[in-house]
A and B are shown apart, each in its own frame.
Chain A
Amino acid sequence: QTVVTQEPSLTVSPGGTVTLTCASSTGSVTSCSYPNWFQQKPGQAPRALIYNTNSKHSWTPARFSGSLLGGKPALTLSGVQPEDEADYYCLLYCGSAWVFGGGTKLTVL
């Protein structure tokens, strides 16, 4: 079964820029598709941010963007705010199954 790997933790300063990535054990993104990104704060359900690599929901702040970086789905936060401190998860469709990454704990310091 496919394993999806994310950076376990990242730290960024307020106003800075940070990029989170999502790597599948099968190799390039062509083996997996429909990258989604979610934000989860303590005690809350996850909130959808990005789908289909770079499409935003109506509620997604403009500072969040999705892309492919070296063939891997990536989430970039530009102009980070204190309220962006949270766990971030990617989700990929690999073969016939959906697989979540292990999550990235983003600290804003």
Chain B
Amino acid sequence: QVQLVQSGAEVKKPGASVRTSCRASGYSFTTYFVHWVRQAPGQGLEWVGMINTSDGGTNYSQKFLGRVTMTKDTSTSTVYMELSSLRSEDTALYYCVREAPGGTHDYWGQGTLVTVSS
């Protein structure tokens, strides 16, 4: 069955960077894009960006340009998201999401809580 398993919670200080992972299983990894979506406590969903798992191409939300980097490791079917220059407003649950052909975002990871606090 399709699964996206994310890494554990992180606590970081302002100004630091965080790298979180998303391991895919149960399907052909390079056939589907992977997106990252975040949700601040009590707030709605926010698109961060996506990576083409076939060629590594990326598309980031303008809001995160210059601070976010998404990479992949095809040998382990894992996608990574690094967010730098963290501030308290980056405290959120970060989800990875699979995009199937046709634009459907069908499977979601369980989320990684990133807390930014001094």
Contact = CB atoms under 8 A, between A and B. Distances in A.
Interface residues of A, number: 26
Q: Is the interface of B mostly helix, strand, loop or mixed?
A: strand
A51 B95 CA distance: 19
B105 interface: yes
A46 B37 CA distance: 11
A52 B61 contact: no
Residue among A46, A57, A98 with the most chain B CB within 10 A? A98
A33 B103 CA distance: 9
A55 B46 contact: no
Contacts of B59: 96-97
A47 B35 CA distance: 15
Contacts of A100: 37, 44-47
B22 to A, nearest CB: 12
Nearest to B102: A52
Nearest to B62: A1
Given A36-B104, A55-B104, A46 B62 contact: no
B45 A57 contact: no
A96 B50 CA distance: 11
B104 A57 contact: yes
A102 interface: yes
